[in-house]
Each structure stands twice: as structure tokens, then as C-alpha cells.
Structure 1
Amino acid sequence: MGGDFDPASLNKPDSLAGILIRMIPLNPIKAMADGDMLGIIFWSILFGFSITRLSGKPQEFFINFFAYGFKAMMKLTQGIIALLPIGVFGLITTAVANSGIDVFKAVGKYIITISIGLSIHFLVILPLVFFIFTKINPLKHWKAMASAFATAFSTSSSGATLPVTIDCIENNVGVSNRTTSFVLPLGATINMDGTALYECAGVLFISQALGIDLSISQQVVVVMTAFLASVGAAAVPSAGLVMIFIVLGAVGLGDHPGAGVIVGTMLAVDRPLDMYRTMVNVASDSIGAVIVAKSEGESNLYPNN
């Protein structure tokens, strides 16, 4: 072809091509044993899609197996979360003893960074996307969704907010039940903009706190893994913080001895951030429902505004 392509570049772990190659595991069992998160996620997506191509009892078996396995893991996770305050107390005590007041300065910058990022997404990007696709004033939508936003902010759970979100979209916005019953439950499960943003910023904060500079290719891995991890995050409080270990593992920081201490410090201030990012997630879900409704020809929207 006359180009300068070097096949050896495909084997470089920090190149984009190398990242894409590593996403396809030669041995999925080995990928799980080695903690290769990109490979695990890629293989899981393919395996899940293959299950949808089955029918009858084989499909039912796999669906029930993984559904019950997920419930069991959630029970285990909830038990660990119940004990976390004790661990967080010890981790923060250690961090303050070693770093003094500097730890509070670093955490303060972290909170401000996450808050600014979520605010830009909530107040600029989402309204802009909404207006481009619907040609409707975003303030109308924000007003119609006020009770859902308040519920999301107070519960920190997209799942717990779902009934209120559906009520607002159907009664205040005027979207049909046919659309909301499909889009909103799906969105509450896989559409988590705020969580993905939080995980990206959180991993960068952890790497900087550890004195590790992530390369551009590693940052690409962070973005890709955060997107995929947020899709798999449960719609429960602090799910994003649990999933952040997946993103850390993808760039080789999951086993770093200092990572756990920093995550423990982040957990101490996670509740208000979790409330905000849940509200962002719900806002994104609701906007998606309205965009789908418009694309389906529904026109009698916002009848009371």
C-alpha cells in the first residue's frame, strides 16, 4: 500500500490499536482470573447477546442463572457496604495522620471538580441535546420533572425514583405509556451519564493522588471502561463507587495499595455527589424518553406548560 504501517504497533499495550486488540480475550476464563476488565466486559456483552439468540428452556436457564447470581452479589455488596463506615473511619484516620490538612484540600478540589462537571452536563449539554432534537424550551422539561429530580436527589437511586419519573413523563410531559414503559426502565438500568462522568474523574483523581500520570491511551481506556461499567452499574446508592474498582483495574491501579485508602476517603464525601449524579442520570433518562416520543410522532407534549 506504500504506507508507514508497522504491524508491531498492534502489540504495543499503550497504543489505541493495542487497547482494541486487548478488548478481545483469547481465553475469557484467563481474562477473569487476571482481572482484565475490558476483556471481561467485551466477552460478557457477546455472551449476553448470544443468550438472546436462544429460545425455550436454554434461554430461560441462563437468564435465571445470571439474574439470581446478580441478586446474590447485590446481597453480598449490601453487606459489605453496611460495614464500610468502620473501614472508612480507619482509612480516613490513617490518611489524616499521614497527610494532615492536605488531604482535606485534595478532597475539596475533587468535590468541586465533580460538581462542576455534573453541572455542565446537567445545565448545558443535556438541555442543548434536548433542544436540538425536540425544538422545545428545556425549562419546560425541567419544570415538569421537578418532583422526579427531588426524589432522585433525596434517594440517590434511579430505581427508587423510576415510578416518580414515569408519573412525571406521562402526566406532566404527556408522553404515552407505550414509550415510557420501554424507555425509562431501560434508561434507569443502562443510561447513567452522571455515573460515567464521576468514574472518569474519580480515577484521574486517584491516579494523581498516587503520583501516577496516565497516558492518553490509558485515559481512553478509562473512558471506555467507565462507559461500559456505568451500563452495568445497579440503580442503587453508591453503585458508581463500587464500579470504580473495575475502571481502576483496567488501567492497572486496582491492586495498588494506596488506591483503597483514597477510595475510602472518597466514600466519606460520596453521599452528596451520589445524590447529584443520580439526579443527572434521571434527567438524561427523561430527556431520552421525550426524544423517542417526538421521533414516534407524539406531538401533544407539555399540555400544562
Structure 2
Amino acid sequence: MSLSNGNNKGFLAFYQRNLFVFILIALVAGIGVGYVLPHRATWFTWMGDLFIRGLKMVIVPLILSSIISGVSNLGQNNSLGRLTLKTLGYYVTTSLLAILTGLLLVNLIEPGVGAPLPDSTENLPELSAEGASLKDTLLRMIPTNVFAAFSQGQMLSTIFFAVLFGVFITKVKEARYRDLLSDFFNATFEVMMGITMFVILFTPLGVFGLVVDVVAEQAGDKAKLALMAASLGKYMLTVIAGLGIHAFVTLPLLMLLLAGINPIHHFRAMLTPLITAFSTSSSGATLPLTMEALEHKAGISNRITSFTIPLGATINMDGTALYECVAAMFIAQAYNIHLDFGQQLIVVITALLASIGAAGIPMAGLVMISVILSAVGLPLEGVGMILAVDRILDMMRTAVNVWSDSCGAAIIARSEGETTHTVA
């Protein structure tokens, strides 16, 4: 029995480490089955439907627990200190710059225009016929019934309530009550992360079912298949271009202008954690390497590193925020849903908040994109359009997340005069 359990655990670890490979296999198999057996697609498409339902299942409790946990923990760790204000200011600024970069590119390139849809256009959101004003959207942020907001998946209301609840946990005078609530939501978040990772394990099956559905619908039309591949390629290039601009232009300029640090030298110091982040798609797993590189290679003090990097690995997700914005706009374009300025502003704000709530684990952004789609009324089934290429983009955006964390630590350390040697 013990041998069997050991073998099972060994296979699970192997499966998790090589999830990207299994997703690629599922992608190829889905294309083949959808093309060869289009009339039998319903035998397999239920796998994609189940996967989408699984994502829907975890959205509200995961976002609720992660934001309450993050805000309450932050509030109990020198939340009014100068260092915290500098750190949060940097994280919000760079995340917004990343999102705006992605928004500009996706509006210029329009990768989703003309893309074949993964299923029929039934259940299109009300936005396709009638836009919601910014005023109405702001009003909907404040729920009249929080439990109704949870059950109906009203993400803006859920996020607003979670932030408010987290803030006021830190205001509770009785330390035992404050600690009890904080511990409860920390524990709830850990449980929800476990459930989320369990759902993500089924990504290959979800990819297979969704791809079979898409290919089967277009199997008789090679032109549409080519159009689908071209649209997906344009989507990938849009995300990659945005990540490249943010990583190699925006962040280096901030380092030069705000701290006078040579970004090339800093990049060399961070090479090992960046490669690890790219290969593991986990900023959390890269955390020890990031801290070690900053302290011993980039010359940043332990006080700065030990505060900014764990916090950054939790709430600073520039690459994820950019990806979520581009993905949401790509899906809107594919469904021919025009988002006006107010609705695109909601995408920006929700992408920022969702990226803060995203965990530093592989494919966490896949769950967070569902939050944005729900917030602006886009069809969640559109996630199926980007599943096939999510992992390679996940690797890239995770590396950008870690790079941004390290740049922030360097800038803040220089402003505090806490570098042990000159990096520039």
C-alpha cells in the first residue's frame, strides 16, 4: 500500500511539474479529434464545460478570502510606515502602467477582431446591446445585499466588500478578535488555494474539450481554422509585446530616473531568479532565490528585501495585470462587444484588483481573468479561446512579475539609502 501511495504521489508531482506538456498534448489531441470526428464532438465537449464550471465555482470564495486576507495582513504590518507607503505606491504605479500598456496595444492591434468564437453567440451579455454607464457601474460596486452579490457572481461588489472587510478587521480593538478573524481568512484562503490548484490539475481535460468544440465547429472550413490560428497568434504577440515594453522599457526607465540604477547590471544580478520564475511560472517558488540575489548580488539591505519582496510576491503582479487586460479585451473583440471608455476603465481597475488577489502559483491568472469577464459582463466561455496558449504566456508574465518586484526593491532601497554597494 505504501508503495502504491508513493507511486501515486510521485506521479502527481511529475504531472504538476509537467502540466504544460500535458496541456500541449491535450491541445494537439483536441485539434486532431475535432477535425477528424466533428460529428462526435459532443462526446468530449462536456470536459470543457465541467472545467469552466470548476473555474466559476472557485471565483467568489477565492477572491473574497484572498483580498480580505491580504488587506488584513498588510494592515497589521506597519501599514502607516514610510516604507509601506513607498512600496504600495510603486506597486500600484507599475501595475497601472502595465495595464495601460496592454490596453493601448490591444486597441491598436485588435487581435480578437474576426476571431472565430468557441461556441454559438447565445448568452451574449447585455453589454452587446446596451452599455452600462460609469455611474451605474460605480453604484453596482456597493451591494445592497452582499450574499446576493456573492451568489450572483457580482465581482465588483465582492471585491469592494472584501477590501472594506479587510480594512476594518485591522480596526478591531480587541486583539484576540482581530487575530481570530485574520487567521480565519488566512486559513480560508489556503483552503481555497488548494481547491483552485485541484481544479487547475484538470486543465488538460478542459483544453481538450474546449478545443474539440472549437475545431469541430470549423472543421469543414479550413479558412476559419487558419483565421483562428492567426487570431490566437496576434493575441500572443500583443501580450508578449506588452510584457516586453513593460520589462525592457518602462521598468528600466523607472530605475534610471528614480534611483539612478543601471538596469543592465541589475538584470545580470537577477538572472537566476528570473530564469527560475520563467521555468516554474511561480513567483512564490522563486521568492528565496529573489531575496538571495537582491541581498548578495544587487547589494540591497535585508530590511528592504525581507519587507518588499514577500509583499510584492503577493500583491505586485504587473505581468499578470497586463495579460488580464489584454485577454479581456481580446474576448470582447472576438464576441464583437464594444466596450466604451467607462467600461474599459472598469477593465483597468478590475485587472489591477484581480492582479493583487492573484496567487503566485502557475496559471493563477487563468482564474483571475474570470473575475474581469464577470465584472464587465463578458461571456466566461471566452476563456476557452485563450486556454491553449496560457501556459507559455504564464511563464513570461511570471518573469515580469519577479523582475518588477526586484526593480521596486532596488528603487526603494536607494531612496532609503540601504544599498550595501553601488549597483550602477
Task: Provide TM-score, normalisation by structure 2.
Answer: 0.65
Identical aligned residues as a percent: 51
CA contact (8 A) 1:196 1:230 kept: yes
2:247 is aligned with 1:127 = no
Report the AA paired with residue 69 of structure 1. T
1:20 aligned to 138, 144, 169, which one? 138
CA contact (8 A) 1:140 1:302 kept: no
Once the two structures are TM-superposed, the CA of residue 95 in structure 1 deviates from its matched residue by 0.7
Pick aligned residue for 2:171 from 53, 67, 72 = 53
Establish whether residue 30 from structure 1 lines up as the match of residue 148 from structure 2: yes
- Cα offset, 1:163, TM superposition: 0.4
Number of positions where the alignment pairs a residue of Structure 1 with one of Structure 2: 288
1:295 aligned partner, one-letter code: S
Aligned residue number for residue 86 of structure 1: 205
With the length of structure 1 as denominator, give the TM-score of the two structures.
0.90
Could you tell me how far apart the structure 2 residues matched to 1:96 and 1:297 are? 58
Equivalent residue in structure 2 for 1:206, among 325, 328, 331:
331
Does residue 67 (structure 1) correspond to residue 192 (structure 2)? The answer is: no
Specify the alignment match of 2:383 in structure 1: 263
Give 3-state SS (helix, strand or coil) of 2:321's partner: helix
Query: Partner residue of 1:272?
Result: 392
Partners of 1:297 and 1:86 lie apart in 2 by: 52
What whole-Å deviation, never above 9, does each CA across 1:210-231 have from its counterpart, x for those lacking one? 1211121111111100100000
Q: 1-side partners of 2:215 and 2:249: how far apart?
A: 37
Q: Is 1:150 the equivalent of 2:275?
A: yes
| CA distance in structure 1 between the partners assigned to 2:345 and 2:276 by the alignment | 34
Out of 111-120 and 286-295, give the one that drifted further: 286-295
Matched-pair contact (CA < 8 Å) for 1:95–1:103:
no
The CA distance in 2 between the partners of 1:91 and 1:201, in whole Å, is 21
The one-letter code of the counterpart of 1:239 is A
Output the aligned Cα RMSD: 1.6
Q: Contact 1:13–1:19 (CA<8 Å) still a contact in 2?
A: no
Letter in 1 for 2:300: V
- Mind listing any 5+ residue stretches in structure 2 that lack a counterpart? 1-129, 219-224
Question: AA paired with 2:374?
Answer: G
* Bigger mean CA deviation after superposition, 272-281 or 66-75: 66-75
CA distance in 2, matches of 1:234, 1:129: 25
SS in 2 for 1:32: helix
Instruction: Please list, as runs of the form range in 1=range in 2, the aligned pairs for 1:226-241 lying within 5 A after superposition.
Output: 226-241=351-366
- Counterpart residue number, 1:185: 310
Q: Given the alignment, which residue of 407, 414, 418 partners 1:287?
A: 407
CA positional deviation for 1:179: 0.9
CA, structure 1 residues 41+51, in 2 after alignment: closer, same or farther (shift >3 Å)? same
Shift of 1:299: 4.4
